Structure 1
Amino acid sequence: MTKPIEIHRASRPAPPADSAFALWQLGFRPFYLLASGFAALSIMLWAVQFAGLLGSLAYLQGPLWHAHEMLFGFTLAVVVGFLFTAGRNWSNRPTPTGVALAALAGLWLAGRVLVLTPWGWAAALVNIAFPLLATIALAVPFIAARNRRNYFFIALLALLTVAQAGVHLSQLGLLQLPGWVGIQLGLDVVLFIMAVMAGRVIPMFTNNGVPGANATRRPWLEQAALGSTLALLAGDGLGLAGLPLALLAGVCSAAHLARWLLWQPLKTLHTPLVWVLHLAYVWIPLHLLLRGLAAMGLLAPTLATHALTLGAIGGLIIGMMTRTALGHTGRLLRATRGDVVSYALVAAAAVVRVGWPLLAPAQTVHAVLLSAALWSAGFALYTLRYWPILTRARIDGRPG
């Protein structure tokens, strides 16, 4: 009788590097995955609510729930995931990984569930705790490394914490301000974060990805674009309205448009990983133009808001989540056909949500439903394609 061969554990071949579970190795992994899946599911839920087909006993309901979840759920998750990832490179110090990262992701997920329950206090405490703890987690490596150039990101995360606290304290009756004040402050902070990061990366990615593009930056124009964006944030905080707000938004729009044109957007048309960022960024001056018109009572403010949220935020997020997920897992920086389809679906969602009601206001419900379907399809496609990429170790064997 042949004796069976024993295979000792030490003699077994090691699994390929990219087969190991790696979800908790760096901030972008869980938060990109959670945010994209949430974007696909929550927008369809909102579309059903908007059409009047679903009632709710939730703590946050209707448009306030939708705005809160898209800003402090979806967008904030991506911001935190990106800053934890970039922050490690900027400071050369560790940001949350492992159990700490999983705990923060669990806290974020608990916030998404609790706002759909009647437990208002629990929902408020959990949702305020998430950005507060994320702020502290980012501050520790930055301060330890004396990375003063990026200290303002700590302040911006702290402002998002204040904005979210304003929404919940108002909702609980502890603050005599409309909950929408916190939403607008949060949107302004995210707009500034996007403006800063776009100025850092879009010209660089354009020149790296498109030989001879010659994307440039002018210091005075950078100051004008970022300064006017901060002025708009301050104006909203002070309750600026009417003609003064329209003029400020118009100046800000012109500065951002001029900035974008210097980045040579038309030269990127054959490079999807770059043009998606340019296409998203042009929604910023469009948003600001629409905000100015809305301040004058010439159109509905929601059109300006969705130009920012679907067009700029959604477009930049899908573009940056693709690029950073590929780059930080050791893969080739090249968009696949599936990626391009995701970009097109999210871009189409913005065009439908803003353009259709602008031309035919009576058909807004139809526009919302179609836009929601396009948006959800785009982020669902990202989730399915990037699930294995975000949950497996880098293909080059490096940590992260």
Structure 2
Amino acid sequence: MIPIEEPARASAPRGFALFNLAFRPFYLLAALFTSISVALWVAVLQGMPWGGYLSPVLWHQHEMLFGFGLAVVAGFLLTAGRVWTGLPTPAGLPLALLAVHWIAARILIYAGPASVAALVDGAFPFVVAAAMARVIVGSKNQRNYFVIALLGALGVANLAFHFGFWGLSLRAALWLVMALVIVMAGRVVPSFTANALPRAGVVIRPQLDRVALAVTLAAFAADLLELGAAALAPLAFAAAVLHVTRQWRWAPFATRGRPILWILHLSHAWIPAGLVLLGLASLGLVRAAAPLHAFGVGAIGGLIIGMITRTALGHTGRPLTTGRAELAAYVLVHLAAVLRVGASFSPGAGTVTLIAISGALWSAAFLIYFATYLPRLARPRLDGKPG
């Protein structure tokens, strides 16, 4: 189990706390950026002129992974790293400069020049990896050494993109983020469920988690190495069965009345769904976009909206309960996922229409998060604790 939040009773917060801990600026930046960037992507699909130096497709794919996704990863890990190790992670001016670094990368990826964009954007994952290495290695927190390696691998994938290996780098980045999602979901989803619903009968099987991860990584490797359907399809289908098996033991249906829990279970369910679609895509039975968006919008997007609400509530000393804003954001993200995956099955002009509606729902979800959590994350914790 990993403690990543510390709920406490409420009191009136005063002062400015945006740079007290990494989740504060990076969750807000990620939410605002993805709502704007996806809206821009949809507008381009509808015929709006494009002014970026990359093609709009490459820009969209890169920014969903290395812009939005990496911002959430940075905010989550730099916050969790302090809890895991007891050592300080960037705060105050260093954290503000890290946020400025990320913002500069977003501007440069759109406007160029390409060489400066590669330098600034390419450095960001390594800066985050160095900050995590300082606390994880410094505390000999061996359980989380993989985080440093994963951030480094994301950095290499990002550099590969800037050197023109677009397809390989984007695919590798998606699978790396999915690997992190699978590991962290295996830790937090059953733990949170068991803590909130002790009578639900949650069963945690670490060995099953390891086997599910290994088979899934093998499927991802088969995809990256283009080994073909004979290798990829059986691995993807086997991995899907393993993920369904492990989630079944987490008592997902016991969470029906708890949005802050069912959002995590519903989002995790997109992992086996995506694996089934990945196997079918390798056999030529569905478009390649279907599994990619099942993973990207459903699994990653769903777990992100679930975790950035939950951890923000906990780390600001608020009760772990959801209101209408959170519920709306949860529903909108999953509707966006259904429509975006559905667009892969839609003929002709219907595809663009479904993508546009999906993008609008996604943008609305994260705008709701930004508007709701901006005052919460800009102010100190309700309980007066640091963070």
Residue matched to 1:299: 286
Question: For the residues of structure 1 that align with 2:57 and 2:313, how far apart are their CA atoms?
Answer: 35
Residue matched to 2:21: 26
Question: For the residues of structure 2 that align with 1:202 and 1:361, how far apart are their CA atoms?
Answer: 39
Q: CA deviation at 1:17?
A: 6.2
SS of 2:192 mapped into structure 1: helix
Q: CA deviation at 1:359?
A: 4.8
Q: CA deviation at 1:189?
A: 0.6
The answer to whether residue 376 in structure 2 is matched with residue 389 in structure 1 is yes
Aligned with 1:122 (options 112, 116, 119): 116
SS of 1:394 mapped into structure 2: coil
Aligned-partner residue type, residue 36 of structure 1: A
Matches within 5 A, 1:221-300: 221-300=208-287
CA distances 1:344-390 after superposition (whole Å, capped 9, x unpaired): 11111001111244254541000011001100111000000000111
The answer to whether residue 77 in structure 2 is matched with residue 83 in structure 1 is yes
Question: For the residues of structure 1 that align with 2:86 and 2:249, how far apart are their CA atoms?
Answer: 32
CA distances 1:130-158 after superposition (whole Å, capped 9, x unpaired): 10100001000111111111000000000
Question: For the residues of structure 2 that align with 1:346 and 1:44, how far apart are their CA atoms?
Answer: 14
Residue matched to 1:330: 317
Q: CA deviation at 1:300?
A: 0.8
SS of 1:358 mapped into structure 2: coil
Residue matched to 1:167: 161
Aligned with 2:89 (options 74, 95, 120): 95
User: Which shows bigger deviation, 324-333 or 209-218?
Assistant: 209-218
Q: CA deviation at 1:45?
A: 0.3
Question: For the residues of structure 1 that align with 2:225 and 2:134, how far apart are their CA atoms?
Answer: 32
Question: For the residues of structure 2 that align with 1:358 and 1:217, how far apart are their CA atoms?
Answer: 36
TM-score of the aligned structures, taking structure 1 as reference length: 0.92
Question: For the residues of structure 2 that align with 1:325 and 1:358, how far apart are their CA atoms?
Answer: 36
Residue matched to 2:58: 64
SS of 1:19 mapped into structure 2: coil
Contact 1:17–1:397, Cα closer than 8 Å, also in 2:
no
Q: CA deviation at 1:335?
A: 0.7
Contact 1:326–1:333, Cα closer than 8 Å, also in 2:
yes
Aligned-partner residue type, residue 96 of structure 2: A
Question: For the residues of structure 1 that align with 2:130 and 2:228, how far apart are their CA atoms?
Answer: 34
Q: CA deviation at 1:99?
A: 1.0
- How big is the alpha-carbon RMSD for the aligned residues of Structure 1 and Structure 2? 1.3
Residue matched to 1:376: 363
| Moved >4 Å (runs of 4+) | 359-362
Question: For the residues of structure 2 that align with 1:346 and 1:219, how far apart are their CA atoms?
Answer: 29
Aligned-partner residue type, residue 74 of structure 1: F
Question: For the residues of structure 2 that align with 1:390 and 1:336, how far apart are their CA atoms?
Answer: 16
Residue matched to 1:41: 36
Q: CA deviation at 1:239?
A: 3.1
* Unpaired segments ≥5 residues, structure 2: 1-10
Aligned-partner residue type, residue 340 of structure 1: L
Aligned with 1:141 (options 127, 130, 135): 135
Aligned with 1:151 (options 141, 145, 150): 145
Residue matched to 1:13: none
Contact 2:343–2:355, Cα closer than 8 Å, also in 1:
no
Q: CA deviation at 1:247?
A: 1.5
Aligned-partner residue type, residue 336 of structure 1: G
Tell me the percent identity.
Answer: 47
Q: CA deviation at 1:59?
A: 2.4
CA distances 1:174-218 after superposition (whole Å, capped 9, x unpaired): xxxx41100110111111101111110100111122241111122
Q: CA deviation at 1:255?
A: 1.0
Question: For the residues of structure 2 that align with 1:292 and 1:361, how far apart are their CA atoms?
Answer: 24
Question: For the residues of structure 2 that align with 1:215 and 1:361, how far apart are their CA atoms?
Answer: 45
Residue matched to 2:7: none
Residue matched to 1:12: none
Question: For the residues of structure 2 that align with 1:105 and 1:236, how far apart are their CA atoms?
Answer: 34
Aligned with 1:220 (options 196, 207, 211): 207
More relative contact order in 1 or in 2 (CA 8 Å, sep 6+)?
2
Aligned-partner residue type, residue 300 of structure 1: R
The answer to whether residue 304 in structure 2 is matched with residue 310 in structure 1 is no
Q: CA deviation at 1:326?
A: 0.3
Q: CA deviation at 1:220?
A: 3.1
Residue matched to 2:8: none
Question: For the residues of structure 1 that align with 2:370 and 2:94, how far apart are their CA atoms?
Answer: 23
Q: CA deviation at 1:299?
A: 1.2
Q: CA deviation at 1:88?
A: 0.4
Question: For the residues of structure 1 that align with 2:343 and 2:156, how far apart are their CA atoms?
Answer: 34
The answer to whether residue 173 in structure 2 is matched with residue 186 in structure 1 is yes
Question: For the residues of structure 1 that align with 2:286 and 2:221, how far apart are their CA atoms?
Answer: 23
Question: For the residues of structure 2 that align with 1:254 and 1:145, how far apart are their CA atoms?
Answer: 37
TM-score of the aligned structures, taking structure 2 as reference length: 0.95
Q: CA deviation at 1:279?
A: 0.6
CA distances 1:282-320 after superposition (whole Å, capped 9, x unpaired): 001111111111111111111111111110111000000
User: Which shows bigger deviation, 209-218 or 131-140?
Assistant: 209-218
Contact 2:129–2:151, Cα closer than 8 Å, also in 1:
yes
